[in-house]
Structure 1
Amino acid sequence: MNRRSTSLSAITLTSVAALSLASCGSDDSSEDRDNDKVAGADSGRGRSPSPSASPSATADRPKIELPSDLTYTFDWPKTGEEEKDAVLSDSEQFIKAVDMAIAEQDPLHKAYRFYSEGTAAAGSQKFIQEFVDYKDRITGAKRYYSSNVKINDDGTAGFVYCEDQNNAYNKSLKTGKSNVTPKSKDNYVLYNSRLRLNKQGVWITEHLTSRRGSTACQP
């Protein structure tokens, strides 16, 4: 079983209002663009406000330590807006924390649970458990790009972004060998998440969906 192909799509299929991905993909087909609209953040009208906290508040963040053969490129330019840039930063830590849990073979690792709750945390646990069951981890290089953040009226945030997994592979902890797979359009993944600012000033991911092979993320 290829856990990389599973990606984080198993985390949740929770549907919320649409947020389209801006400046992503080169296909001009209106049909394709419509298909690549993904769930974003609800406008939050009529909802209770989220807990008051500053994105810059000090929090006792877990230290993220990853294998030296796993590297990341986050092509997420700063927006110049404090809240949006904090969403980008904490989402990056969440992504790394999940991979750290996989490397350490711990489905209940405190690091990813620091950055997630709800269905996102539950789905991450399931995803990590698959790697533990097969005694695999991730190696290679992962690239994230085409980020789009929206801060909603209720204080939550919607975040859409792409991942290129073509140079990331499963590595067996038993043999030390990597399962190098061919490049494929299915290795381009479109993600959509909803985040909430907690009392510690951390943007935690509550819901996450993904679409593998999305034309919006393909070069």
Structure 2
Amino acid sequence: MKRRSLGLAALAMTLTACGGNTDAPAKGSDKASAAAQPSPSSPGAVSDDGRPVIDLPSDVTHAFDWGTIDDTVEDAVLADTAQRIKAVDLAIAEQDPLHEAYRFYSEGTAAAGSEQYIQEFVDHKARTTGFTRFYDADVSVHEDGTAALVYCEDQSRAFNKFLDTGKVDVTPVTKNSYVVYAAALRKNGNGVWVTERLSSQRGSARCQP
């Protein structure tokens, strides 16, 4: 499974697409390489505030250790990013590459990249399992209603689970278990911070424990 040294702009330019193995998709890569916007799928359950309900399997858990921000707008960016991350795992669990939940929190190449990433799990009849931690977030909000975000992911306790057999592909922890992401977001008309572009790099020195 292979689910502040640089400024935001510089780091975003250095990130490259991350690769997976040939047996199953890479947990956490969520690379944004395609350009087309996904077509709508059937609507899912929504909460009273109109946001999708994200009800993950009990064996899929996350920790968002973003650190202390103490800024209402930046906190909103991080909160909506956390929902996007969980929504992608929900789409994988429900084997739906066009799931409404992740598309609520992403557009453009980020949404198209998520669709491709989820489709890889569907093709392999697999989903995610285990615990994933997100940390070391660096947010920059701009006056034009856009934001840049860099953050780390620890995949050392997250794995692929194959649906036909129930087998969990437990892999050793290496430097590539730690991934850095750079995201470009925009606040839409509904007040949601949607991710428009997303890049990632495995083995980043920034994210090593």
TM-score by length of 1: 0.77
In structure 1, the residue matched to 2:190 is 200
1:26 matched to which residue of 2? none
Match of 1:113 in 2: 103
Task: Determine which structure has greater relative contact order: mean sequence separation of CA pairs < 8 Å that are 6+ residues apart, divided by chain length.
Answer: 1
Give distance in 1, aligned partners of 2:54 and 2:199: 23
Hey, what does 1:103 align to over in structure 2? 93
Establish whether residue 151 from structure 1 lines up as the match of residue 172 from structure 2. no
Other-structure match for 2:13: none
Q: Percent identity?
A: 57
Distance change >3 Å, CA 103–CA 13, structure 1 → 2: closer
Count of aligned residue pairs for this structure pair? 175
Corresponding residue for residue 24 of structure 2: 2
Which protein shows a greater Rg? 1
The amino acid that maps onto 2:51 is R
Task: Report the Cα offset of residue 66 of structure 1.
Answer: 0.5
Query: For residues 77-127 of structure 1, what are the alpha-carbon distances to aligned partners after superposition, in whole Å with 9 as ceiling and x for unaligned?
Result: 341211100000000000000000000000000000000000000000000
Provide TM-score, normalisation by structure 2.
0.80
What is the aligned partner in structure 1 of residue 202 from structure 2?
212
Separation (CA, whole Å) in 2 of partners of 1:63 and 1:179 = 28
Unaligned runs of 5+ in 2: 1-22, 36-47
Cα distance in 2 for residues equivalent to 1:142 and 1:82: 25
Q: How does 1:162-201 map to 2 (within 5 A)?
A: 162-201=152-191
Task: Please state how far the C-alpha of 1:11 moved relative to its aligned partner.
Answer: 1.3
Corresponding residue number in structure 2 for 1:93:
83
Runs (4+) of structure 1 moved beyond 2 Å?
none
**How well do the aligned residues superpose, as a CA RMSD in angstroms?**
1.6
Q: Flag structure 1 segments of 5+ consecutive residues without an equivalent.
A: 15-57
